[in-house]
Amino acid sequence: MIALYAFTLELAQLPKIEGIDGAPLMRFDLDSLTAVGSRHDGPLDGEPRTQALAQGLVVEALTALAAAVLPVRFGETFADARALAAAVRERRGELGRALERVRGCAEIGVRITGNPDGAPASDATSGTAYMRARLADETRAGALHEQLTPVARAATVPRSGEATYLVERARIADALRTVERFAGLHPEVSVSCSGPWAPYSFGSEA
């Protein structure tokens, strides 16, 4: 059985790390894209969290070795290389478009909470006050979103003060400076940023 981790473009080499349950990594060259996975004797039956973390480490390592990386949902498996190749043929167009979309990019996450200590605005004394506080948070998130959108290739819609952005690696510093500048102008809230990560949020169509 093959456990699949990611699809890539222009993969220079495999990372020098182990995969799930210590299995060696394998590459499967399928036309112009390369799938990365590991071979296992049977179904994955280890601790899921540990296995998911191992897969995540492989995906992050791939970002330094490939022009584009499209992470695969944890738990995707195929009976053998032939089954994997058949599945890729059926969705070659979607995979190709998704890979081109994330080429040269990484994902960053941004979160705004209602208080400088990171706590939500849940200490309001009434329902009306709470809703007003939440509306203020959403308004701030929308304002930051407008400032980040020109820097990003794509973005998710802000929800509950959180959003993710697909940013060209050459522009990540610009995105982080935008977040820092916004945080400096709004000391009344907590603004946090995570990443850069592999683009987990921007390959759902594939």
From first to last of its 206 residues, what are the pLDDT tens digits of the chain? 999 999 999 999 999 999 999 999 999 999 899 999 999 998 888 899 999 999 999 999 999 999 999 999 999 999 999 999 999 999 999 999 999 999 999 999 999 887 655 455 555 556 777 777 777 777 888 899 999 999 999 999 888 889 999 999 999 999 999 999 999 998 988 899 999 999 999 976 55
What pLDDT sits at residue 160? 83
Structure-token pair, residue 104: 């040269």
Task: Please tell me the predicted confidence (pLDDT) of residue 118.
Answer: 47
The domain ranges of the chain are 2-102, 105-202
Q: Does CATH place domain 105-202 in 3.40.640.10?
A: no
Which secondary-structure segment (H or E) carries 4?
Answer: strand 2-9
CA distance 9 to 52: 22
This prediction has a pTM of 0.84
pLDDT at 42: 85
Q: Where are the alpha helices (DSSP H) in 28-171?
A: 48-62, 81-90, 92-102, 127-148
Backbone Cα Rg of the chain:
20
